[in-house]
Chain A
Amino acid sequence: MDDQGHEHNDDSNSESSGGKDDGILYVGIDLGTSRSAISTSNGVRKVVESYVGWPVDMVARKVLKHDIVIGKEALKLRPMLDMHRPLENGLMKEGSEKDAEAVRQLMKHLVMLGGAGGKGDGKKQVRAVVGVPAEALRVNKQQLRGALTGIVDSLMIVTEPFAVAYGLDALLHSLIIDIGAGTADFCVMNGRYPTDEDQRTLNSAGDAIDQILTKSVQEKHPEANFSEHMVREWKEAHSFVGEPPERIVVKAPVRGKPTKIDITDEMRNACESLVAPVAETMIDLIARVEPEYQDRIRHNVILSGGTSLTRGLSDRLQAILKEYGGGRVKVVDDPLFVGSDGGLAIAMDAPDSDWERLSSG
């Protein structure tokens, strides 16, 4: 397997690693539909595109020189690969053995990048905390647990927004909104482990924006050729709600010739589609909190996840909160790693006795 060394690395940052040096590797993993991130007690932080590909035939295998390709490399080489994006709405896809195997390979790859069993380390025991969508069913968690058997020694599965809250010490009177590609996960923290009533998952997230953007650009520019990956790149570079910061002009081939097309209005419409469901869910969750705490929670709304970087989104949500007595919506400093850092913090804090209970062996 390719070591994929060119993925987004942040080896120098070890802010989440603590003082444990017991021959055990602690890892926090944010398993994302689009990207997956890992933070480890070695101080390693890496993010991998959640794509796994197998060479389509013998010729492709000969060219690639690998049996499997993962991450950004897989995206780049996708014409030669049987590509799998094995996570859907933040969960393992069901129904295809190839997708289940892709999740295993992705996790194996992540854990290896995190330093488990690497050169000079020997084979370390791995204790992992993995974040999943807030409303994942037990069966989803069991599938994930099954997929990780043999890859990690002990596993704790928590909801993604809870991992974020834990990592930020935002455990009391806060609302975490973690907007990724597949799902937007909400979690009210009341100083206790969140229950079903404290959490929500919406399927309106980054992928939904991509779909709307694709459709509307196709309608406006039927002559242009573009792929879903191009649309995703456009969104990641230019997404916004409210007034456009500038005209958004991108290049797409028209009858083979690279042509500039203006997608400002389409981008705005696609991104705006996120606002109503997110705002409605935010207000609804806050309204369910005991009245004396609602004000404090309104002033402690935390946005995380890749889609939280949509320009103007936090300001828009904050403006909506004004109608309900005012509030403050803050985007985390490091949305890419905040979930995996939170998972790592949980992993490091959990006592050995608990980890033994969570051992897969």
Chain B
Amino acid sequence: MAELTRTKQRILQEAVRENVETMSGRLPGRGRHRIGVAMRAARLFFFLTLPIAIFTTSYVVATVAGGRSGGVPESMLNRQPPLERQAAVARPAAAELVATSTPQLIDPAVFPVAVRKVVLDPGHGGTNLGTTNAGGLIEKELTLDIAHRLRELLESNAFHVVMTREGDAQLSLQKRALIANEKQGDIFVSIHVNWLVTRQIRGVETYFLGATDDPYLSALAARENQGSGYSLADLRGLIEEIYANARMGESRRLAEAVQRSLYRSLLERNPGLQDRGVKTAPFGVLTRTGMPAILAEVACLSNRQEAQLLMTASYRQFIAEALYEGINAYANGLNQRSQIGS
């Protein structure tokens, strides 16, 4: 009886704490997640045994290669890489390279790199609600919830995580990028929930920065860029600058890994889910970040069935786990590419 009373007192304290957190706008503390202890230990071992990497935040190096870089628009080939990236080139002929080079994607074997610090950006916040539905779901709440879950998974597996917002804060897109850059994140993952006019569609899609001729993508970018403060000219200039460095290539790889994981994992729980693929679009939040950056549309709130799934904590947890697996696959792939080359 005394034990029951003690249990009740303890449980009541936890119930009150959760309510106080809800009242103050914070997300309640998370419980245990489903990644196994063994897996966590293995991951920790993996990171502890990594050779000490000469890590650089830059993924670009100017080379003396005379040929053009595949996939890079000709109009941008003569652009100089940003100064901070030039400084990061740690080879003897760096000065010469800077002076005479055309930008190319870095060979990952040049530097043994690793992903240690992940910047998570829950989309929207404050008065910027994002998309909403009649059932009371709000994009800013969903993205924050998923980001918290993802943070827990990443931190339990030896990643360091920076969040652009912890609660219901309103941040400009520039501020989000600024946080990512100041904290020297290795990768940047912006989490969003989609709304499609064709409401029968449910699907996941992942973006990295680039131009688009697709009116749908332009509209989507305009919606997600709302309040960015960037002019069209600013965005164009920023995108061109990013084309000229290898960050784009790494962003694409990261987007592919995350998209693959999102689709494969979620399809199991969400039959009818469409793989809407990896795409480029001029999202403002991806322009200023100095690291591989992606924007994941993890669900469609416009689809009734998917909205119902999003109401469940278990599905939001699946999304977080799928994102985690994608990030982890990218991180492992990056490391393997480094090791193969070394």
Interface residues of A (CB under 8 A from B): 88-89, 91-95, 135, 137-143, 145, 155-158, 162, 166, 169, 171-172, 191-193, 195-201, 203, 288, 346, 349-350, 354, 357-358
Complex Cα spacing A166 to B11, Å: 9
Known: A140-B136, A357-B16. A197 touches B23 (CB 8 A): no
Measured between C-beta atoms, what is the minimum distance from B132 to chain A in Å?
A: 8
Asked if B135 CB lies within 8 Å of chain A CBs, one says yes
Known: A137-B311, A357-B16. A193 touches B136 (CB 8 A): no
- B311-A141 in contact (CB<8A): no
- B15-A156 in contact (CB<8A): yes
Measured between C-beta atoms, what is the minimum distance from B168 to chain A in Å?
A: 9
Q: Which residues of B contact A193 (CB under 8 A)?
A: 11, 14-15, 18
- B22-A137 in contact (CB<8A): no
Q: Which residues of A contact B311 (CB under 8 A)?
A: 89, 135, 137, 201, 203
Between-chain CB contacts (< 8 Å), 5 pairs: A93-B134, A94-B133, A138-B28, A193-B14, A350-B12
Measured between C-beta atoms, what is the minimum distance from B288 to chain A in Å?
A: 30
Q: List 19 other contacts, CB 8 Å, given A88-B135, A93-B135.
A: A89-B311, A94-B132, A94-B134, A135-B312, A137-B141, A138-B22, A138-B145, A139-B136, A139-B141, A140-B136, A145-B23, A156-B16, A192-B11, A196-B31, A197-B34, A199-B313, A350-B16, A354-B13, A357-B20
Main secondary structure of the interface of A (DSSP, over half): mixed
Known: A91-B136, A138-B22, A358-B20. A192 touches B10 (CB 8 A): yes
- B136-A346 in contact (CB<8A): no
Q: Which residues of B contact A192 (CB under 8 A)?
A: 10-11, 14
Measured between C-beta atoms, what is the minimum distance from A133 to chain B in Å?
A: 9
Measured between C-beta atoms, what is the minimum distance from B120 to chain A in Å?
A: 18
- A197-B31 in contact (CB<8A): yes
Interface residues of B (CB under 8 A from A): 4, 7-16, 18-20, 22-23, 27-28, 30-34, 132-138, 141-142, 145, 308, 311-314, 317
Q: Which residues of B contact A140 (CB under 8 A)?
A: 136
Known: A135-B314, A157-B22. A94 touches B136 (CB 8 A): yes
Complex Cα spacing A156 to B16, Å: 7
- B19-A358 in contact (CB<8A): yes
Known: A135-B311, A350-B16. A95 touches B134 (CB 8 A): yes
- A195-B32 in contact (CB<8A): yes
Q: Which residues of A contact B313 (CB under 8 A)?
A: 135, 196, 199-200
- B317-A196 in contact (CB<8A): yes
Q: Which residues of B contact A95 (CB under 8 A)?
A: 134, 136
Which chain B residue shows the least CB distance to A357?
B20
Measured between C-beta atoms, what is the minimum distance from A92 to chain B in Å?
A: 7
Known: A196-B30, A349-B12. A142 touches B22 (CB 8 A): yes
Measured between C-beta atoms, what is the minimum distance from B173 to chain A in Å?
A: 23
Which chain A residue shows the least CB distance to B33?
A197
Known: A156-B19, A166-B8. A139 touches B312 (CB 8 A): no
Complex Cα spacing A229 to B3, Å: 47
Which chain A residue shows the least CB distance to B309?
A203
Complex Cα spacing A95 to B307, Å: 15
Complex Cα spacing A16 to B194, Å: 47
Q: Which residues of A contact B137 (CB under 8 A)?
A: 137, 139
- A139-B12 in contact (CB<8A): no
- B14-A200 in contact (CB<8A): no
- B15-A158 in contact (CB<8A): yes
Measured between C-beta atoms, what is the minimum distance from B169 to chain A in Å?
A: 15
Q: Which residues of B contact A354 (CB under 8 A)?
A: 12-13, 16
Q: Which residues of B contact A357 (CB under 8 A)?
A: 16, 20
User: A92, A139, A201, A357 — which one has the most chain B CB atoms within 10 A of its CB?
Assistant: A139
- A143-B136 in contact (CB<8A): yes
Q: Which residues of B contact A203 (CB under 8 A)?
A: 308, 311
Complex Cα spacing A354 to B9, Å: 11
Per a CB cutoff under 8 Å, which of A135, A137, A196 touches B136? A137
Q: Which residues of A contact B27 (CB under 8 A)?
A: 138
Which chain A residue shows the least CB distance to B12?
A350
Known: A193-B11, A196-B313, A350-B12. A94 touches B135 (CB 8 A): yes
Complex Cα spacing A138 to B22, Å: 6
Per a CB cutoff under 8 Å, which of B8, B10, B31, B138 touches A198? B31
Q: Which residues of A contact B30 (CB under 8 A)?
A: 195-196
User: A155, A166, A195, A357 — which one has the most chain B CB atoms within 10 A of its CB?
Assistant: A195
